């Protein structure tokens, strides 16, 4: 197993001593032949495009994420599907990992990076009802108006999957999101969040969601 693969495997498995050893090997060596003797950099990728930071973020290895960020791992590297480490952390709902990626440079994450399906990390968190992560992403200016390849916003996904707390947070913090679906507004979209919630059997939640709309319209 080469050093690149060893680093990726260690990050995936949360093996802090091995990750630290490999990264420190690269950091300490210098001189004209240093590039031949150093270990791999923090941004090597496997065949799926996953970097060590992707693996650590997906598997909730907090200490490994900290180490990689300290060794200049990029938060904006994309895998073959266009997902960044932030997408994966948002998908799993790990608030601590998301906070590290957002706050612990030196790499500055682009919170509005989109996958090949045009989904942001906010879409990933909202679909699975990770409300605390949604809140963090909004705090760091993730754009809730971005629509994926199916013309769905994060609000649409939260409503479709019955994530009521997430719906309420999005409506409360960004009431403009429901304007296209409110009375007196025309819309080009076939399905409103209300339709999606109702269609998927979230009747009680649908009723509470309509109350949010009603309050906004008054």
CATH number at residue 14: 1.25.40.20
The answer to whether position 129 is within a domain reads no
Alpha carbon of residue 63 to chain centroid: 18
Give the pLDDT confidence score for residue 39 in this predicted structure: 47
Question: What domain count does the chain have?
Answer: 1
CA distances from 187 to 45, 53, 106, 192, 212 (A): 43, 40, 42, 9, 19
**DSSP letter (8 states) at residue 45:** B
Structure token digits, residue 29: 């060596």
Cα–Cα dist 181/76, whole Å = 34
The answer to whether position 25 is within a domain reads yes
3-state secondary structure of 88: helix
End-to-end CA distance of the chain: 65
- The residues with which 45 forms a beta bridge, in sequence order, are 51
Structure token digits, residue 71: 């060794």
Task: Write out the residue range of the structural domain in which residue 34 sits.
Answer: 1-81
Give the pLDDT confidence score for residue 37 in this predicted structure: 43
Alpha carbon of residue 162 to chain centroid: 20
**DSSP letter (8 states) at residue 182:** S
Give the pLDDT confidence score for residue 165 in this predicted structure: 93
The answer to whether position 13 is within a domain reads yes
Cα–Cα dist 54/86, whole Å = 8
The torsion region of residue 14 among left (phi > 0), alpha (psi -120 to 50) and beta comes to: left
Structure token digits, residue 108: 């500055």
The answer to whether position 47 is within a domain reads yes
| pLDDT tens column, 118-134 | 999 999 999 999 999 99
The answer to whether position 38 is within a domain reads yes
Helix, strand, coil fractions of the chain, as percent rounded to 5: 55, 0, 45
The answer to whether position 58 is within a domain reads yes
Structure token digits, residue 24: 């420190």
The answer to whether position 67 is within a domain reads yes
The answer to whether position 179 is within a domain reads no
3-state secondary structure of 110: coil
Query: In this prediction, what percent of the chain has a pLDDT beyond 90?
Result: 66
Confidence of residue 1 (pLDDT cuts 50, 70, 90): low
Give the pLDDT confidence score for residue 181 in this predicted structure: 63
Rg of the chain on CA atoms, in Å: 20
Give the pLDDT confidence score for residue 107 in this predicted structure: 84
């Amino acid at each position: 197993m080469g050093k690149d693969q060893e680093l990726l495997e260690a990050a995936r498995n949360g093996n802090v001593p091995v990750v630290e050893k490999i990264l420190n090997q690269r950091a300490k060596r210098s001189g004209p032949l240093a590039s031949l003797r150093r270990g791999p950099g923090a941004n090597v990728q496997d065949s799926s495009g996953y970097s060590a930071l992707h693996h650590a973020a997906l598997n909730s290895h907090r200490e490994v994420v900290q180490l990689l960020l300290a060794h200049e791992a990029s938060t904006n590297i994309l895998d073959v599907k266009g997902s960044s480490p932030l997408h994966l952390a948002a998908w799993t709902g790990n608030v601590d990992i998301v906070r590290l990626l957002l706050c612990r440079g030196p790499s500055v994450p682009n919170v509005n990076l989109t996958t090949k399906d045009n989904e942001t990390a906010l879409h990933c968190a909202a679909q699975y009802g990770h409300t605390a992560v949604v809140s963090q992403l909004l705090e760091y200016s993730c754009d809730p108006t971005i629509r994926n390849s199916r013309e769905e916003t994060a609000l649409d996904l939260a409503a479709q999957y019955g994530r009521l707390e997430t719906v309420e947070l999005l409506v409360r913090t960004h009431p403009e999101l429901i304007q296209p679906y409110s009375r007196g507004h025309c819309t080009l979209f076939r399905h409103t969040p209300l339709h999606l919630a109702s269609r998927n059997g979230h009747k009680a939640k649908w009723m509470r969601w309509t109350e949010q709309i009603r309050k906004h319209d008054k």
